[in-house]
Structure 1
Amino acid sequence: MSTKSRNPVPLRVALLALAALAGSALPRSAVSQQPVEIAGRLLDAGTRAPIAAALVSIPALDLSTLTNANGAFHFVVSPGSHTLEIRHIGYGTRTTEVEARADGTLSLELHIEPAAIEVAPLEVNVEWRPSYLEQVGFYERRAHGNPRSRFYDPEDIRRGGDPLIVGWRNMSERMLNLNRATSFGLCRPQILIDGRRDRIGFMTGLAHHRIGGVEVHGEPHKVPGLEPLIRAGGEDGFCPTVLIWTRQWLTAAELEERRIVLCEPDPGTDRAPLVVEGTVTDALTGLLLPRATVTAWITEPGGRRREKETTADDNGRFRFCDLDPRTDVSIWARFAGLSGELAPVSGETAPVTARTAPVMRDLVVPIARHGHVAGRVLDLQRGEPVPGAEIGLTVAEAGPVPGDRGPSAEAGYLTTSDEHGLFAIPDLVPGDYRLAVSHPDAGVAGDTIPVPSGSTVDVRVELDPAPPPAPGAAASAAGPRIVAERRHPRLTEVGFYERRRESATRGRGHFFTPERIRALAPTRLTDLLTEVDGLREVCPRQTCRLLSPSARRCSHMSVHLNGTLVIDGRAWDFEQGGVDDLLAPHEIVAIEVYLRAVSLPGEFAAPSNRCGAIIIWSG
């Protein structure tokens, strides 16, 4: 495509006419510089085929044209030397010098070689998929594309560095956000490592090189095939969940490459070094803590202090090989941001010929915390508490306590329900336990319950006094059962469970736990509250109010949201909205209902609550 002279012939005529008009005014030497023609043809050097659509230009004169189908091109220029520039996508850029004489037309036949075409590098991303992650369904779930799920593959984790791509605090915040976002945001986030629940917080100490994949699911029940996997790990398929797939994804060679090798003492030293070795374990469970950091605090004879660090291997073993025996040494370990106590090491001077054995010092770090069990035993048929029931608890791995025999003397923990059917077993090592409950008149029940680190598990035991069905007979739909619920940490802080326990002994209030709210699945808050006997809903217009007939001269109940009075029972214009306008049911964690002012706990006793109160706790 020509940019300056599309047709050289008119240009030639114009130049000749211009010269004729100016001839009388120009010197003789200038008149003799008549325009000349350059007529050329562009051919392939190998095939001699014409090259069409090549751009031929004379940059100095700002002239250009395209070769036609026969490869021909044409210019009208002044006599002299000119540089031709040829451009073509298949031949690249070529330049040549030509001499145009005034005595005639310059005919050219140019042969050029094809040029290698420079193509931008083609980036092909080939995703490496470890077979382990394929087997557990990681990529299949990722392909499903659930908007409330996040996936981190090995490459993501490598880029994230150490510690994990989203450190423990960030992960906690992320999970809490997911917890609020899901319609089942009534339970605390749960963590599974390789399909097993993380009871003592090992996730906080996992380095990125040990992790092959991470899945964060806000609504795991909506991801095909995921809920059975979570339930197999002993968790709830409706609760926000983090799945961590660890170093099983590495090959044997990679494991060996990343293995921590403990040091060996140097036999060539003049003085026998002080060698200290041992293991790092969790203080409560005794589990080994891999890759824990161990620090030696060294005090030299002059009083100067310094530190030396090493890392425990994947089996939780550590070793210092070159400590000076003339110094005072104390060691301590850290894991997952927690530290253990100092352990002193006595250093003594020893000659080379009397080399002593390593000093053994095992270290502990308080990772896990005690769990607790609190429960109540009820008669299934009458709904009344069962006092005097025997409760036995034993570690599940040690062998179950048969439910039809009741607790035995071999059970790890034994207790009895009080007059209100209540019992408590505190300070348990985290793990799975077998609970067995029996009463001579009310029957027996048994089941395995999980006790997480630092949590209290509420247990509701319903005993059926009816005799068991005869062999071959169909079992009744009703029967003895044990329901275990892990306490919500925020509800523990605000005293919800303490008030519920006190209400069980005095009959003061009605309590809706997260699990009960989820089971009832109400569409409106009032649908949930009217489950309370004696509480009725009145809707004179579009806004409904809740009335407690047991309280005299009261028109409606007060409502507290997270400890703050939001609807004053004494003076509230319900044209502004009612309890259903406060929150959606899925945003509520728990509810307390007190039908009368005299039944209110001390912290909620106020003139505004003389008609009773509804206490709502949101997520």
Structure 2
Amino acid sequence: MPRTAGALAVALALLLCVGSPPLAAQTTATFAGRVLDAVSGRPLTAATVTVVTTGQATRTDSLGRFEVRGLAVGIHRFLVSAPGHARGSLSLAFAARERMERDLELEPTEVARAAVLADSAARSVADTARVQALPGVGVTADASAGRRYADFERRRATGRGQYRTRAELEAGQYYTLQDAMRGMRGLRFNCAGGTCRAQMVRAPMGCAPEYVVDERVDNAFGPTIPIRDIVGLEVYTGVSDVPGEFAGQNSGCGVIVIWTTSGREPRRK
């Protein structure tokens, strides 16, 4: 090939590459967030987040933040560890170019827990000594349900899906879970033998939604859970609504997420 033609070919190749991100960046996902102490809520520095499925690992910074890039599309399992704390693990599903952010909490060991509580007590005494009375301020915002429901509140703020809080359930005087979901868009109910089952309008007949009770899939207990035990309800009617953490083989049938009064953060091993 003549020198001039070769130079033109190289220049053309460079022009095609400029402005186009690498193929891997277009098809991979990112997982980011913070690692926190489950008792005090303080960020954990030098905690390690390991991607078990790939062997990739990263450590948190001085604010407890971490970021894992280049995750292939699909389900990945993560192992989280920090000195003085029990290890934790979780599995998440990622879509192409998705950036998922979550706060991960680790339970302190008994020795570390005692130290944290003692430190908190000392700080409380010191703060009380220099407290200053201020005029009362009216509060109109909804009170937080606590750290356990942080994911519920975060997803409710996005506007994706449909939600019922404990206050709304009590105000509606619903008798069953199905009663609480009636009137929500995109749902229908199949009733037989005195029992009604929810089904998403966009799902094929016989395609039952997946129930997640206190962050665990439970398709046996979920549909029949007593309404008095429910403190929060999330309903996602199709793939376009379902958050990444609930994506899976059955997400096309919809997902119903239930938070109960007896649920608690599982002890990590």
Alignment TM class, shorter chain as reference: 0.3 to 0.5
- Which structure's CA Rg is the greater one? 1
Quick one: higher RCO (CA 8 Å, sep 6+), 1 or 2?
2
Q: What's the TM-score once normalised by structure 1's chain length?
A: 0.21
Structure with more of its chain in helix, by fraction: 2
